[in-house]
Structure 1
Protein backbone atom coordinates (compact mmCIF):
# COMPACT_ATOMS: atom_id res chain seq x y z
CA UNK A 1 0.00 0.00 0.00
CA UNK A 2 2.92 2.39 0.47
CA UNK A 3 3.13 2.98 -3.27
CA UNK A 4 -0.62 3.17 -3.81
CA UNK A 5 -0.87 6.95 -4.08
CA UNK A 6 2.12 7.08 -6.42
CA UNK A 7 0.69 4.46 -8.75
CA UNK A 8 -2.95 5.46 -8.58
CA UNK A 9 -2.80 7.73 -11.61
CA UNK A 10 -1.28 5.03 -13.80
CA UNK A 11 -3.44 2.20 -12.50
CA UNK A 12 -6.66 4.15 -12.89
CA UNK A 13 -6.29 3.83 -16.66
CA UNK A 14 -7.01 0.13 -16.21
CA UNK A 15 -9.98 0.40 -13.90
CA UNK A 16 -11.61 3.77 -14.46
CA UNK A 17 -12.99 5.81 -17.30
CA UNK A 18 -11.73 8.99 -15.61
CA UNK A 19 -8.04 8.31 -16.10
CA UNK A 20 -7.57 11.15 -18.56
CA UNK A 21 -8.50 13.71 -15.92
CA UNK A 22 -5.61 12.37 -13.85
CA UNK A 23 -3.32 12.39 -16.86
CA UNK A 24 -3.67 16.14 -17.28
CA UNK A 25 -2.43 16.67 -13.75
CA UNK A 26 0.30 14.02 -13.73
CA UNK A 27 1.49 12.49 -17.01
CA UNK A 28 1.93 8.75 -16.87
CA UNK A 29 5.54 8.91 -17.98
CA UNK A 30 6.33 11.20 -15.03
CA UNK A 31 4.74 8.68 -12.68
CA UNK A 32 6.71 5.83 -14.23
CA UNK A 33 9.94 7.81 -14.05
CA UNK A 34 9.26 8.51 -10.38
CA UNK A 35 8.67 4.82 -9.72
CA UNK A 36 12.03 4.06 -11.33
CA UNK A 37 13.85 6.77 -9.38
CA UNK A 38 12.40 5.54 -6.08
CA UNK A 39 12.90 1.82 -6.76
CA UNK A 40 16.65 1.50 -7.19
CA UNK A 41 16.97 -0.59 -4.05
CA UNK A 42 14.19 -2.95 -5.13
CA UNK A 43 15.70 -3.40 -8.58
CA UNK A 44 19.12 -4.11 -7.12
CA UNK A 45 18.04 -6.43 -4.29
CA UNK A 46 14.94 -8.60 -4.54
CA UNK A 47 13.78 -12.22 -4.40
CA UNK A 48 13.99 -12.59 -8.20
CA UNK A 49 17.73 -12.04 -8.33
CA UNK A 50 17.08 -9.85 -11.37
CA UNK A 51 16.31 -6.13 -11.83
CA UNK A 52 12.66 -7.00 -11.32
CA UNK A 53 9.98 -6.58 -8.64
CA UNK A 54 6.21 -6.69 -8.41
CA UNK A 55 3.34 -5.24 -6.40
CA UNK A 56 -0.21 -6.56 -6.29
CA UNK A 57 -3.55 -5.78 -4.73
CA UNK A 58 -7.08 -7.08 -4.76
CA UNK A 59 -10.25 -5.19 -3.84
CA UNK A 60 -13.96 -5.56 -4.57
CA UNK A 61 -13.41 -8.41 -7.01
CA UNK A 62 -10.67 -6.60 -8.92
CA UNK A 63 -7.14 -8.07 -8.90
CA UNK A 64 -4.14 -6.26 -10.41
CA UNK A 65 -0.42 -6.92 -10.49
CA UNK A 66 2.32 -4.49 -11.50
CA UNK A 67 5.66 -5.94 -12.58
CA UNK A 68 8.58 -3.53 -12.98
CA UNK A 69 11.92 -4.39 -14.47
CA UNK A 70 14.81 -3.48 -16.73
CA UNK A 71 15.24 -4.91 -20.22
CA UNK A 72 18.73 -5.14 -21.67
CA UNK A 73 17.44 -3.67 -24.93
CA UNK A 74 17.41 -0.13 -26.35
CA UNK A 75 14.16 1.78 -26.00
CA UNK A 76 13.88 2.26 -29.77
CA UNK A 77 13.95 -1.50 -30.39
CA UNK A 78 11.30 -2.04 -27.71
CA UNK A 79 9.05 0.54 -29.38
CA UNK A 80 9.58 -0.91 -32.85
CA UNK A 81 8.70 -4.43 -31.68
CA UNK A 82 5.83 -3.86 -29.28
CA UNK A 83 3.84 -1.33 -31.26
CA UNK A 84 3.09 -4.14 -33.76
CA UNK A 85 -0.11 -6.02 -32.84
CA UNK A 86 0.99 -9.27 -34.50
CA UNK A 87 4.03 -9.46 -32.24
CA UNK A 88 1.78 -9.57 -29.19
CA UNK A 89 0.32 -12.83 -30.48
CA UNK A 90 3.81 -14.33 -30.55
CA UNK A 91 4.31 -13.00 -27.01
CA UNK A 92 0.99 -14.19 -25.57
CA UNK A 93 1.33 -17.67 -27.07
CA UNK A 94 4.36 -18.38 -24.86
CA UNK A 95 2.02 -18.56 -21.85
CA UNK A 96 1.11 -22.20 -21.13
CA UNK A 97 -2.61 -21.40 -21.07
CA UNK A 98 -2.63 -19.52 -24.39
CA UNK A 99 -2.95 -22.23 -27.01
CA UNK A 100 -3.01 -19.81 -29.98
CA UNK A 101 -3.44 -16.12 -30.77
CA UNK A 102 -4.61 -14.37 -33.93
CA UNK A 103 -4.73 -10.71 -34.94
CA UNK A 104 -7.18 -8.94 -37.22
CA UNK A 105 -7.81 -5.36 -38.29
CA UNK A 106 -11.42 -4.23 -37.95
CA UNK A 107 -12.88 -0.74 -38.42
CA UNK A 108 -9.55 0.95 -37.91
CA UNK A 109 -8.76 -1.05 -34.77
CA UNK A 110 -6.78 -4.20 -34.04
CA UNK A 111 -8.32 -7.20 -32.32
CA UNK A 112 -6.27 -10.01 -30.81
CA UNK A 113 -8.01 -13.31 -30.06
CA UNK A 114 -6.47 -15.40 -27.29
CA UNK A 115 -7.39 -19.09 -27.33
CA UNK A 116 -7.26 -20.04 -23.65
CA UNK A 117 -7.04 -23.60 -22.40
CA UNK A 118 -5.36 -25.98 -20.00
CA UNK A 119 -1.62 -26.40 -19.42
CA UNK A 120 -1.43 -29.48 -21.65
CA UNK A 121 -1.82 -29.45 -25.45
CA UNK A 122 -5.26 -28.54 -26.76
CA UNK A 123 -6.41 -27.77 -30.32
CA UNK A 124 -7.97 -24.29 -30.73
CA UNK A 125 -11.49 -25.68 -31.10
CA UNK A 126 -11.32 -27.02 -27.53
CA UNK A 127 -10.44 -23.63 -26.00
CA UNK A 128 -12.21 -20.47 -24.87
CA UNK A 129 -11.72 -17.37 -26.99
CA UNK A 130 -11.08 -13.98 -25.42
CA UNK A 131 -10.94 -10.94 -27.71
CA UNK A 132 -8.56 -8.15 -26.72
CA UNK A 133 -8.65 -4.66 -28.22
CA UNK A 134 -5.11 -3.47 -28.95
CA UNK A 135 -4.50 0.21 -28.29
CA UNK A 136 -1.33 2.24 -28.59
CA UNK A 137 -2.39 4.53 -25.74
CA UNK A 138 0.65 6.80 -25.88
CA UNK A 139 3.66 6.92 -28.15
CA UNK A 140 5.67 10.01 -27.42
CA UNK A 141 9.42 10.59 -27.54
CA UNK A 142 10.81 8.72 -24.56
CA UNK A 143 7.60 6.94 -23.58
CA UNK A 144 5.52 3.99 -24.80
CA UNK A 145 2.14 2.86 -23.47
CA UNK A 146 0.35 -0.20 -24.93
CA UNK A 147 -2.99 -1.48 -23.62
CA UNK A 148 -4.73 -4.76 -24.42
CA UNK A 149 -8.29 -4.74 -23.08
CA UNK A 150 -11.00 -7.40 -23.12
CA UNK A 151 -14.48 -6.69 -21.81
CA UNK A 152 -15.23 -10.35 -21.09
CA UNK A 153 -13.05 -13.33 -20.22
CA UNK A 154 -13.51 -16.98 -19.26
CA UNK A 155 -15.70 -18.08 -16.34
CA UNK A 156 -17.58 -14.78 -16.18
CA UNK A 157 -14.52 -12.61 -15.58
CA UNK A 158 -14.56 -9.04 -16.91
CA UNK A 159 -12.34 -6.06 -17.64
CA UNK A 160 -9.17 -7.95 -18.50
CA UNK A 161 -6.20 -5.63 -18.98
CA UNK A 162 -2.62 -6.16 -20.03
CA UNK A 163 -0.64 -2.94 -20.09
CA UNK A 164 2.95 -2.29 -21.11
CA UNK A 165 4.82 0.95 -20.40
CA UNK A 166 8.44 1.73 -21.18
CA UNK A 167 11.00 4.49 -20.62
CA UNK A 168 14.56 4.74 -22.00
CA UNK A 169 17.49 4.34 -19.63
CA UNK A 170 21.19 4.95 -20.06
CA UNK A 171 23.52 2.32 -21.54
CA UNK A 172 20.96 1.07 -24.05
CA UNK A 173 18.50 -0.29 -21.47
CA UNK A 174 14.77 0.20 -20.94
CA UNK A 175 12.66 0.43 -17.78
CA UNK A 176 9.37 -1.41 -18.27
CA UNK A 177 6.10 -1.80 -16.43
CA UNK A 178 3.80 -4.73 -17.18
CA UNK A 179 0.43 -4.77 -15.44
CA UNK A 180 -2.12 -7.55 -15.59
CA UNK A 181 -5.54 -7.82 -14.00
CA UNK A 182 -9.23 -8.53 -14.28
CA UNK A 183 -12.50 -8.44 -12.37
CA UNK A 184 -14.14 -11.67 -11.23
CA UNK A 185 -17.52 -12.61 -9.79
CA UNK A 186 -18.51 -13.62 -6.28
CA UNK A 187 -19.34 -17.14 -7.47
CA UNK A 188 -15.93 -17.49 -9.11
CA UNK A 189 -14.14 -16.15 -6.03
CA UNK A 190 -15.88 -18.72 -3.85
CA UNK A 191 -15.04 -21.52 -6.28
CA UNK A 192 -11.39 -20.53 -6.68
CA UNK A 193 -10.85 -20.01 -2.97
CA UNK A 194 -12.29 -23.47 -2.39
CA UNK A 195 -9.80 -24.85 -4.90
CA UNK A 196 -6.83 -22.99 -3.45
CA UNK A 197 -7.68 -24.18 0.05
CA UNK A 198 -7.66 -27.83 -1.08
CA UNK A 199 -6.13 -29.13 -4.32
CA UNK A 200 -4.39 -25.86 -5.12
CA UNK A 201 -3.11 -25.14 -1.63
CA UNK A 202 0.49 -25.54 -2.76
CA UNK A 203 0.25 -22.88 -5.46
CA UNK A 204 1.74 -19.56 -4.40
CA UNK A 205 2.66 -16.19 -5.81
CA UNK A 206 5.68 -13.96 -5.21
CA UNK A 207 4.60 -11.57 -2.44
CA UNK A 208 6.12 -12.58 0.89
CA UNK A 209 3.56 -12.46 3.71
CA UNK A 210 5.83 -13.65 6.54
CA UNK A 211 8.18 -16.44 7.56
CA UNK A 212 7.62 -19.96 8.80
CA UNK A 213 9.13 -21.60 11.89
CA UNK A 214 12.33 -22.30 9.99
CA UNK A 215 12.63 -18.67 8.95
CA UNK A 216 11.76 -19.45 5.33
CA UNK A 217 9.56 -17.00 3.42
CA UNK A 218 5.82 -17.62 3.24
CA UNK A 219 4.32 -16.57 -0.09
CA UNK A 220 0.84 -15.34 -0.82
CA UNK A 221 -1.56 -17.95 -2.17
CA UNK A 222 -5.14 -18.00 -3.43
CA UNK A 223 -6.44 -15.93 -6.30
CA UNK A 224 -4.00 -13.10 -5.74
CA UNK A 225 -1.10 -15.53 -5.99
CA UNK A 226 -2.56 -16.85 -9.26
CA UNK A 227 -2.74 -13.35 -10.76
CA UNK A 228 0.86 -12.72 -9.71
CA UNK A 229 2.01 -15.90 -11.43
CA UNK A 230 0.28 -14.96 -14.67
CA UNK A 231 1.63 -11.40 -14.60
CA UNK A 232 5.19 -12.71 -14.28
CA UNK A 233 4.58 -15.24 -17.06
CA UNK A 234 3.53 -12.42 -19.40
CA UNK A 235 6.49 -10.28 -18.32
CA UNK A 236 8.91 -13.08 -19.15
CA UNK A 237 7.07 -13.68 -22.44
CA UNK A 238 7.78 -10.10 -23.49
CA UNK A 239 11.39 -10.42 -22.38
CA UNK A 240 11.80 -13.72 -24.27
CA UNK A 241 10.32 -12.18 -27.42
CA UNK A 242 12.69 -9.23 -27.28
CA UNK A 243 15.72 -11.48 -26.75
CA UNK A 244 14.78 -13.57 -29.81
CA UNK A 245 14.98 -10.61 -32.19
CA UNK A 246 18.76 -10.93 -32.38
CA UNK A 247 18.40 -14.42 -33.90
CA UNK A 248 17.78 -15.22 -37.59
CA UNK A 249 14.08 -15.09 -38.40
CA UNK A 250 13.83 -18.83 -38.98
CA UNK A 251 15.10 -19.64 -35.49
CA UNK A 252 13.27 -16.97 -33.47
CA UNK A 253 10.33 -19.12 -32.45
CA UNK A 254 12.62 -21.83 -31.08
CA UNK A 255 14.67 -19.22 -29.24
CA UNK A 256 11.51 -17.69 -27.72
CA UNK A 257 10.08 -20.87 -26.29
CA UNK A 258 13.46 -21.99 -24.96
CA UNK A 259 14.19 -18.62 -23.33
CA UNK A 260 10.71 -18.37 -21.79
CA UNK A 261 11.04 -21.80 -20.24
CA UNK A 262 14.49 -21.08 -18.82
CA UNK A 263 13.36 -17.75 -17.35
CA UNK A 264 10.32 -19.23 -15.63
CA UNK A 265 12.17 -22.36 -14.53
CA UNK A 266 14.25 -20.20 -12.19
CA UNK A 267 11.12 -19.85 -10.05
CA UNK A 268 9.89 -23.42 -9.88
CA UNK A 269 8.16 -22.83 -6.55
CA UNK A 270 5.72 -20.48 -8.30
CA UNK A 271 5.85 -21.18 -12.03
CA UNK A 272 6.70 -24.80 -12.68
CA UNK A 273 3.93 -26.63 -14.54
CA UNK A 274 5.55 -28.78 -17.23
CA UNK A 275 8.83 -30.51 -17.95
CA UNK A 276 10.76 -28.67 -20.64
CA UNK A 277 10.36 -31.37 -23.29
CA UNK A 278 6.57 -31.31 -22.81
CA UNK A 279 6.35 -27.51 -22.90
CA UNK A 280 8.43 -27.31 -26.08
CA UNK A 281 6.49 -30.11 -27.79
CA UNK A 282 3.13 -28.56 -26.91
CA UNK A 283 4.20 -25.12 -28.07
CA UNK A 284 5.54 -26.39 -31.39
CA UNK A 285 2.17 -28.01 -32.15
CA UNK A 286 0.24 -24.98 -30.91
CA UNK A 287 2.39 -22.68 -33.03
CA UNK A 288 1.42 -24.65 -36.13
CA UNK A 289 -2.23 -24.25 -35.15
CA UNK A 290 -1.71 -20.52 -34.67
CA UNK A 291 -0.16 -20.13 -38.12
CA UNK A 292 -3.05 -22.07 -39.66
CA UNK A 293 -5.64 -19.91 -37.92
CA UNK A 294 -3.87 -16.73 -38.97
CA UNK A 295 -3.67 -17.86 -42.61
CA UNK A 296 -7.42 -18.39 -42.58
CA UNK A 297 -7.85 -14.74 -41.54
CA UNK A 298 -5.23 -13.32 -43.87
CA UNK A 299 -2.17 -11.34 -42.79
CA UNK A 300 -2.96 -7.69 -43.24
CA UNK A 301 -0.04 -5.32 -43.07
CA UNK A 302 0.39 -3.34 -39.85
Structure 2
Protein backbone atom coordinates (compact mmCIF):
# COMPACT_ATOMS: atom_id res chain seq x y z
CA UNK A 1 0.00 0.00 0.00
CA UNK A 2 2.84 2.42 0.93
CA UNK A 3 4.56 1.70 -2.37
CA UNK A 4 1.30 2.36 -4.20
CA UNK A 5 0.90 5.70 -2.43
CA UNK A 6 4.49 6.61 -3.31
CA UNK A 7 3.85 5.81 -6.97
CA UNK A 8 0.60 7.77 -6.96
CA UNK A 9 2.31 10.71 -5.28
CA UNK A 10 5.16 10.64 -7.82
CA UNK A 11 2.67 10.51 -10.68
CA UNK A 12 0.75 13.47 -9.27
CA UNK A 13 3.98 15.45 -8.86
CA UNK A 14 4.96 14.64 -12.44
CA UNK A 15 1.52 15.65 -13.69
CA UNK A 16 1.66 18.91 -11.72
CA UNK A 17 5.10 19.68 -13.12
CA UNK A 18 3.86 18.95 -16.64
CA UNK A 19 0.91 21.33 -16.17
CA UNK A 20 3.25 24.06 -14.89
CA UNK A 21 5.44 23.65 -17.95
CA UNK A 22 2.43 23.72 -20.30
CA UNK A 23 0.96 26.79 -18.64
CA UNK A 24 4.35 28.50 -18.64
CA UNK A 25 4.73 27.72 -22.34
CA UNK A 26 1.28 29.08 -23.15
CA UNK A 27 1.93 32.19 -21.06
CA UNK A 28 5.23 32.71 -22.86
CA UNK A 29 3.52 32.39 -26.25
CA UNK A 30 0.83 34.83 -25.16
CA UNK A 31 3.48 37.28 -23.95
CA UNK A 32 5.27 36.99 -27.31
CA UNK A 33 2.06 37.66 -29.20
CA UNK A 34 1.10 40.63 -27.05
CA UNK A 35 4.60 42.10 -27.20
CA UNK A 36 4.57 41.78 -30.99
CA UNK A 37 1.17 43.46 -31.15
CA UNK A 38 2.27 46.24 -28.79
CA UNK A 39 5.44 46.87 -30.78
CA UNK A 40 3.53 47.00 -34.06
CA UNK A 41 0.94 49.44 -32.72
CA UNK A 42 3.73 51.56 -31.22
CA UNK A 43 5.34 51.71 -34.67
CA UNK A 44 2.00 52.84 -36.13
CA UNK A 45 1.82 55.68 -33.62
CA UNK A 46 5.42 56.68 -34.36
CA UNK A 47 4.99 56.89 -38.15
CA UNK A 48 1.35 57.97 -38.37
CA UNK A 49 2.26 61.41 -39.74
CA UNK A 50 4.36 59.77 -42.46
CA UNK A 51 1.54 57.40 -43.33
CA UNK A 52 -0.83 60.35 -43.71
CA UNK A 53 1.50 62.34 -45.98
CA UNK A 54 4.25 60.84 -48.13
CA UNK A 55 5.66 60.37 -51.63
CA UNK A 56 3.38 57.37 -52.33
CA UNK A 57 0.07 59.18 -52.14
CA UNK A 58 -1.16 56.27 -50.00
CA UNK A 59 -0.85 55.18 -46.34
CA UNK A 60 2.51 53.50 -46.94
CA UNK A 61 5.89 53.90 -45.24
CA UNK A 62 9.11 52.20 -46.40
CA UNK A 63 12.48 51.64 -44.74
CA UNK A 64 15.48 49.76 -46.17
CA UNK A 65 19.02 48.87 -45.16
CA UNK A 66 21.93 47.21 -46.93
CA UNK A 67 24.87 45.39 -45.38
CA UNK A 68 27.97 43.78 -46.94
CA UNK A 69 26.06 40.61 -47.86
CA UNK A 70 22.39 41.25 -47.11
CA UNK A 71 19.50 43.60 -47.83
CA UNK A 72 16.34 44.24 -45.80
CA UNK A 73 13.20 46.21 -46.65
CA UNK A 74 10.36 46.96 -44.23
CA UNK A 75 7.04 48.28 -45.49
CA UNK A 76 4.25 49.51 -43.27
CA UNK A 77 0.77 50.36 -44.43
CA UNK A 78 -2.88 50.71 -43.51
CA UNK A 79 -5.47 48.52 -45.19
CA UNK A 80 -9.01 49.82 -44.86
CA UNK A 81 -10.43 46.38 -44.16
CA UNK A 82 -11.40 44.78 -40.84
CA UNK A 83 -8.61 42.83 -39.19
CA UNK A 84 -10.62 39.60 -39.38
CA UNK A 85 -10.81 39.91 -43.18
CA UNK A 86 -7.06 40.47 -43.46
CA UNK A 87 -6.20 37.65 -41.06
CA UNK A 88 -8.44 35.13 -42.80
CA UNK A 89 -6.98 36.02 -46.20
CA UNK A 90 -3.29 36.12 -45.32
CA UNK A 91 -3.05 32.97 -43.22
CA UNK A 92 -4.11 30.85 -46.21
CA UNK A 93 -1.27 29.37 -48.34
CA UNK A 94 -3.62 29.19 -51.33
CA UNK A 95 -4.24 32.92 -50.99
CA UNK A 96 -0.50 33.55 -50.94
CA UNK A 97 -0.15 31.78 -54.27
CA UNK A 98 -2.87 34.03 -55.69
CA UNK A 99 -1.06 37.05 -54.21
CA UNK A 100 2.54 36.31 -55.18
CA UNK A 101 1.72 35.19 -58.71
CA UNK A 102 0.55 38.72 -59.54
CA UNK A 103 4.19 39.83 -59.32
CA UNK A 104 5.55 40.31 -62.83
CA UNK A 105 8.56 38.06 -62.17
CA UNK A 106 6.71 35.21 -60.48
CA UNK A 107 5.84 32.64 -63.11
CA UNK A 108 3.97 30.28 -60.78
CA UNK A 109 3.33 29.51 -57.12
CA UNK A 110 2.32 26.15 -55.68
CA UNK A 111 1.84 24.90 -52.12
CA UNK A 112 1.62 21.64 -50.25
CA UNK A 113 1.09 20.62 -46.63
CA UNK A 114 2.72 17.50 -45.22
CA UNK A 115 2.38 16.59 -41.52
CA UNK A 116 1.06 20.06 -40.70
CA UNK A 117 4.05 21.74 -42.34
CA UNK A 118 3.28 23.93 -45.36
CA UNK A 119 5.69 24.77 -48.15
CA UNK A 120 5.26 27.34 -50.89
CA UNK A 121 7.37 27.21 -54.04
CA UNK A 122 7.75 30.40 -56.05
CA UNK A 123 9.06 30.15 -59.60
CA UNK A 124 10.77 33.43 -60.48
CA UNK A 125 11.92 34.47 -63.93
CA UNK A 126 11.92 37.26 -66.49
CA UNK A 127 9.22 39.86 -67.04
CA UNK A 128 8.04 37.99 -70.14
CA UNK A 129 6.16 34.69 -70.22
CA UNK A 130 8.13 31.67 -69.08
CA UNK A 131 6.99 28.18 -68.15
CA UNK A 132 7.89 27.22 -64.56
CA UNK A 133 10.41 24.70 -65.89
CA UNK A 134 12.49 27.62 -67.19
CA UNK A 135 12.21 29.63 -63.95
CA UNK A 136 14.07 29.45 -60.65
CA UNK A 137 12.24 27.68 -57.79
CA UNK A 138 12.39 29.20 -54.33
CA UNK A 139 11.01 26.93 -51.60
CA UNK A 140 9.58 28.75 -48.60
CA UNK A 141 8.44 27.23 -45.30
CA UNK A 142 5.10 28.88 -44.49
CA UNK A 143 4.29 29.30 -40.80
CA UNK A 144 1.76 31.23 -38.75
CA UNK A 145 3.70 32.26 -35.65
CA UNK A 146 0.70 33.98 -34.03
CA UNK A 147 -2.97 34.31 -34.90
CA UNK A 148 -5.57 35.66 -32.51
CA UNK A 149 -8.43 38.21 -32.60
CA UNK A 150 -6.17 41.28 -32.64
CA UNK A 151 -2.85 40.17 -34.10
CA UNK A 152 -1.37 38.02 -36.88
CA UNK A 153 2.24 37.08 -37.51
CA UNK A 154 3.46 34.97 -40.45
CA UNK A 155 6.84 33.92 -41.77
CA UNK A 156 7.96 32.50 -45.11
CA UNK A 157 11.53 31.26 -44.98
CA UNK A 158 13.73 29.85 -47.73
CA UNK A 159 17.27 28.68 -47.02
CA UNK A 160 18.49 28.73 -50.64
CA UNK A 161 17.44 30.99 -53.52
CA UNK A 162 18.43 31.61 -57.14
CA UNK A 163 21.88 32.86 -58.21
CA UNK A 164 23.55 31.82 -54.97
CA UNK A 165 21.29 33.86 -52.73
CA UNK A 166 20.24 32.47 -49.35
CA UNK A 167 18.22 33.13 -46.22
CA UNK A 168 15.18 34.54 -48.02
CA UNK A 169 12.80 35.69 -45.30
CA UNK A 170 9.38 37.25 -45.69
CA UNK A 171 7.64 38.42 -42.55
CA UNK A 172 4.10 39.68 -42.09
CA UNK A 173 2.60 41.27 -39.00
CA UNK A 174 -0.91 42.70 -38.81
CA UNK A 175 -2.81 44.39 -36.01
CA UNK A 176 -6.31 45.71 -35.68
CA UNK A 177 -6.89 49.49 -35.78
CA UNK A 178 -9.94 51.50 -34.83
CA UNK A 179 -12.41 52.24 -37.61
CA UNK A 180 -12.39 48.78 -39.20
CA UNK A 181 -8.81 49.13 -40.47
CA UNK A 182 -5.64 47.02 -40.24
CA UNK A 183 -2.02 48.08 -39.82
CA UNK A 184 0.36 45.76 -41.65
CA UNK A 185 4.13 45.30 -41.59
CA UNK A 186 5.68 43.43 -44.53
CA UNK A 187 9.42 42.69 -44.44
CA UNK A 188 11.69 41.06 -46.98
CA UNK A 189 15.35 40.19 -46.56
CA UNK A 190 17.92 37.90 -48.11
CA UNK A 191 21.67 37.30 -48.12
CA UNK A 192 24.10 36.78 -50.98
CA UNK A 193 27.57 35.31 -51.25
CA UNK A 194 30.53 36.19 -53.46
CA UNK A 195 29.21 34.66 -56.70
CA UNK A 196 25.78 36.20 -56.26
CA UNK A 197 27.36 39.57 -55.45
CA UNK A 198 29.41 39.45 -58.68
CA UNK A 199 26.37 38.50 -60.79
CA UNK A 200 24.28 41.25 -59.21
CA UNK A 201 27.02 43.83 -59.70
CA UNK A 202 27.32 42.89 -63.38
CA UNK A 203 23.56 43.13 -63.91
CA UNK A 204 23.24 46.58 -62.38
CA UNK A 205 26.22 47.81 -64.35
CA UNK A 206 24.58 46.74 -67.63
CA UNK A 207 20.91 45.78 -68.10
CA UNK A 208 19.78 47.18 -64.77
CA UNK A 209 21.77 50.40 -64.74
CA UNK A 210 18.68 52.65 -64.92
CA UNK A 211 16.56 50.81 -62.34
CA UNK A 212 15.88 52.55 -59.04
CA UNK A 213 13.98 52.05 -55.80
CA UNK A 214 11.90 54.43 -53.68
CA UNK A 215 14.30 55.74 -51.03
CA UNK A 216 15.75 59.14 -51.83
CA UNK A 217 19.44 59.69 -51.09
CA UNK A 218 21.81 62.63 -51.42
CA UNK A 219 21.76 66.22 -50.27
CA UNK A 220 18.75 68.53 -50.49
CA UNK A 221 18.31 69.76 -54.03
CA UNK A 222 20.43 66.92 -55.40
CA UNK A 223 18.50 63.89 -54.24
CA UNK A 224 18.25 60.75 -56.35
CA UNK A 225 16.56 57.40 -55.85
CA UNK A 226 18.54 54.50 -54.43
CA UNK A 227 19.69 52.00 -57.04
CA UNK A 228 21.49 48.66 -57.10
CA UNK A 229 20.44 45.71 -54.96
CA UNK A 230 18.74 47.84 -52.33
CA UNK A 231 16.63 49.51 -55.00
CA UNK A 232 15.74 46.12 -56.50
CA UNK A 233 14.53 44.71 -53.18
CA UNK A 234 12.48 47.87 -52.58
CA UNK A 235 10.79 47.37 -55.95
CA UNK A 236 10.05 43.72 -55.26
CA UNK A 237 8.72 44.48 -51.79
CA UNK A 238 6.40 47.15 -53.20
CA UNK A 239 5.12 44.71 -55.83
CA UNK A 240 4.28 42.13 -53.17
CA UNK A 241 2.67 44.76 -50.95
CA UNK A 242 0.47 45.99 -53.81
CA UNK A 243 -0.41 42.37 -54.56
CA UNK A 244 -1.76 42.00 -51.01
CA UNK A 245 -3.73 45.20 -51.49
CA UNK A 246 -5.09 43.87 -54.78
CA UNK A 247 -6.12 40.56 -53.25
CA UNK A 248 -8.10 42.30 -50.50
CA UNK A 249 -9.65 44.78 -52.95
CA UNK A 250 -11.11 41.97 -55.05
CA UNK A 251 -12.42 39.59 -52.38
CA UNK A 252 -16.01 40.75 -52.84
CA UNK A 253 -15.98 40.17 -56.60
CA UNK A 254 -17.70 37.01 -57.90
CA UNK A 255 -15.22 34.15 -57.67
CA UNK A 256 -15.17 33.59 -61.42
CA UNK A 257 -14.21 37.23 -62.02
CA UNK A 258 -11.55 37.64 -59.34
CA UNK A 259 -8.51 36.55 -61.34
CA UNK A 260 -9.22 38.96 -64.21
CA UNK A 261 -9.98 41.79 -61.79
CA UNK A 262 -6.81 41.12 -59.81
CA UNK A 263 -4.62 41.32 -62.88
CA UNK A 264 -6.12 44.65 -63.91
CA UNK A 265 -6.08 46.04 -60.36
CA UNK A 266 -2.46 45.08 -59.68
CA UNK A 267 -1.22 46.54 -62.92
CA UNK A 268 -3.12 49.79 -62.32
CA UNK A 269 -1.69 50.10 -58.79
CA UNK A 270 1.88 49.57 -59.99
CA UNK A 271 1.32 52.05 -62.83
CA UNK A 272 1.17 54.81 -60.20
CA UNK A 273 4.93 54.37 -59.80
CA UNK A 274 6.22 54.16 -63.40
CA UNK A 275 9.79 55.24 -62.58
CA UNK A 276 10.26 52.17 -60.42
CA UNK A 277 7.71 49.58 -61.49
CA UNK A 278 6.91 50.00 -65.19
CA UNK A 279 8.29 47.04 -67.12
CA UNK A 280 5.87 46.08 -69.90
CA UNK A 281 2.57 47.26 -71.37
CA UNK A 282 -0.65 46.21 -69.70
CA UNK A 283 -1.84 44.03 -72.58
CA UNK A 284 1.41 42.05 -72.49
CA UNK A 285 1.19 41.63 -68.71
CA UNK A 286 -2.41 40.40 -68.89
CA UNK A 287 -1.63 37.93 -71.65
CA UNK A 288 1.48 36.58 -69.91
CA UNK A 289 -0.31 36.11 -66.62
CA UNK A 290 -3.18 34.21 -68.19
CA UNK A 291 -0.71 31.79 -69.76
CA UNK A 292 1.21 31.47 -66.49
CA UNK A 293 -2.01 30.86 -64.56
CA UNK A 294 -2.74 27.79 -66.65
CA UNK A 295 0.77 26.47 -65.94
CA UNK A 296 0.35 27.15 -62.22
CA UNK A 297 -2.97 25.32 -62.04
CA UNK A 298 -1.45 22.30 -63.76
CA UNK A 299 1.46 22.25 -61.30
CA UNK A 300 -0.85 22.63 -58.31
CA UNK A 301 -3.04 19.77 -59.53
CA UNK A 302 0.01 17.49 -59.36
CA UNK A 303 0.42 18.41 -55.70
CA UNK A 304 -3.02 17.00 -54.97
CA UNK A 305 -4.14 20.20 -53.24
Q: TM-score, normalized by length of structure 1?
A: 0.88
1:110 counterpart residue number: 118
1:25 Cα offset (Å) = 11
Within the candidate set 250, 262, 269, 1:263 is matched to 269
- The 3-state SS of whatever aligns with 1:162 is strand
The alignment partner of 2:156 has SS state of: strand
Q: Quick check: which one's helix share is greater? A: 2
- The reply on whether 1:253 has 2:259 as its aligned counterpart is yes
Q: Which piece of structure 1 moves more, 263-272 or 288-297? A: 288-297
Distance 1:209 1:112 in 2: 35
1:287 equivalent among 265, 278, 293: 293
How many equivalent residue pairs? 277
Equivalent position of 2:6 in the other structure: none
Contact (CA 8 Å) 2:69, 2:192: kept in 1 or not? Answer: yes
Tell me the equivalent position of 1:142: 150
Q: Select 1:173's aligned residue among 145, 170, 181.
A: 181
Distance 2:222 2:242 in 1: 25
Q: Which residue does the alignment assign to 1:9?
A: none
Asked if 1:221 corresponds to 2:227, the answer is yes
Secondary structure at the aligned position of 2:280 is classed as coil
Q: Are 2:161 and 1:153 aligned?
A: yes
Mapping 1:1-302, distance limit 5 Å: 27-210=35-218, 215=221, 217-299=223-305
Residue by residue, what CA displacement relative to the aligned partner does 1:151-174 show, whole Å, maximum 9, x if unpaired? 110011111011111111111111
Cα distance in structure 1, aligned partners of 2:222 and 2:258: 39
Looking at structure 1, the residues matched to 201 and 215 of structure 2 have their Cα atoms a distance apart, in angstroms, of: 18
> 53-62 or 63-72, which moves further after superposition?
53-62
Flag the structure with larger Rg.
2
Unaligned runs of 5+ in 1: 1-19
Unaligned runs of 5+ in 2: 1-27
- Cα distance in 1 for partners of 2:212, 2:219 equals 14
Q: Distance in 1 between matches of 2:187 and 2:236?
A: 10
Q: CA RMSD in A?
A: 1.8
Find the counterpart in structure 2 of residue 16 from structure 1: none
Structure 2 CA distance for aligned equivalents of residues 113 and 74 of structure 1: 29
Distance 2:102 2:249 in 1: 13
User: Under a length normalisation based on structure 2, what TM-score does the superposition of the two structures give?
Assistant: 0.87
Alpha-carbon deviations, 1:71-117, whole Å to 9, x = none? 11110000111111111001110111110111111122011111111
Cα deviation, residue 216, structure 1 = 6.5
Residues 188, 35 of structure 1: alpha-carbon distance in 2 compared, 3 angstrom cutoff: same
C-alpha spacing 1:26/1:245, structure 2 compared with 1 (3 Å): closer
The question of whether the paired residues in 1 share the 8 Å contact of 2:72 and 2:187 is answered with yes
Moved over 2 A (4+): 23-26
